[in-house]
Copies of this chain bind each other. A is one copy, B any other.
Amino acid sequence: MEDLTRERAQTTFDVNAMKIIWAGGQEAFEFHNKLASLVAHDPVFRKDNRPRMTHKELFLGGIRKAAHCNELAIELGLTEADANTLRILRDEKAYDTLHWNMFVPVLRTQATPEQQKKWLPLATSMAIIGCYAQTELGHGSNVQGLETTATFDPYADEFILNSPTLSSTKWWPGGLGKVATHAIVHAHLILDKDYGVHAFIVQIRSLEDHKPLTTITVGDIGQKFGNGGNNTVDNGFLRFNHTRIPRTNLLMRMAVVTREGKYVYQDVPKQILYGGMIAARQTILLEASVELSRAVTIAVRYSAVRRQFGFDNNNREMQVLDYMTQQHKLFPLLATAYAFRFVGQWMETLYSEVMSQFENNNFSALAEIHACTSGLKAITTSVTADAIEKCRKACGGHGYLCSSGLPELFAAYIPACTYEGDNTILFKQVGKFLVKTMLNMNRRLRPQGTTEYLADIHLHTTKDCEVSKDDDWLNLDFVLDAFKARAIRLLVTLSRHIQKFPNQDDGFEELSIDLVNVAEAHCQLVVLSKFVDKLQTTIPGLNVKQQLHLLCNIYGLSLICEHAGDFLATGYLTRRQANLARSQLRRIFSHVRPNAIALVDSFNHTDHYLGSVLGRYDGDVYTHLYMEAMKDPFNNADVIDGYKTT
Contact = CB atoms under 8 A, between A and B. Distances in A.
Interface in A140-197: 140-142, 145, 166-167, 169, 171-172, 177-179
Interface residues of A, number: 109
12 contacts: A135-B397, A137-B622, A142-B309, A222-B403, A224-B402, A393-B418, A396-B422, A397-B419, A568-B569, A568-B575, A569-B578, A570-B575
A646 interface: yes
A324 interface: yes
Interface in A628-646: 628-635, 638-640, 642-644, 646
A325 interface: yes
B632 A145 contact: no
A211 to B, nearest CB: 5
Given A135-B397, A396-B418, A220 B145 contact: no
A509 interface: yes
Contact of A140 (B51, B308, B417): B308
Among A178, A306, A566, the one with the most B-chain Cβ atoms within 10 Å of its Cβ is A178
A546 interface: no
A478 interface: no
Q: Chain copies in the assembly? A: 2
Nearest to A317: B145
B210 A63 contact: no
Contact of A400 (B210, B224, B642): B224
Interface stretch (A77-85, A407-415, A433-441, A533-541): A407-415
Contact of A222 (B166, B401, B513): B401
Interface string A213-226: 00000011111111
A10 interface: no
Contacts of A633: 55-56
Interface string A482-516: 00000000000000000000000000011111001
A515 to B, nearest CB: 8
Nearest to A220: B634
Nearest to A644: B210
B575 A571 contact: yes
A389 B385 CA distance: 10
Contact of A646 (B64, B424, B625): B64
A393 to B, nearest CB: 6
Interface of A: 51-52, 54-56, 59-60, 63-64, 67, 135, 137-142, 145, 166-167, 169, 171-172, 177-179, 209-212, 219-227, 234, 237, 306-309, 317, 323-325, 328-329, 389, 393, 396-397, 399-403, 407, 411, 414-415, 417-419, 422, 424, 428, 509-513, 516, 561, 563-571, 575, 578-579, 586, 622-623, 625-626, 628-635, 638-640, 642-644, 646
B628 A222 contact: yes
Contact of A225 (B306, B396, B400): B400
Nearest to A178: B640
A219 B637 CA distance: 9
A142 B634 contact: no
Given A138-B307, A172-B397, A220-B634, 9 more contacts: A51-B222, A140-B397, A145-B317, A225-B402, A237-B626, A237-B629, A325-B513, A563-B565, A564-B566
A138 B569 contact: no
A422 B422 CA distance: 33
B222 A631 contact: yes
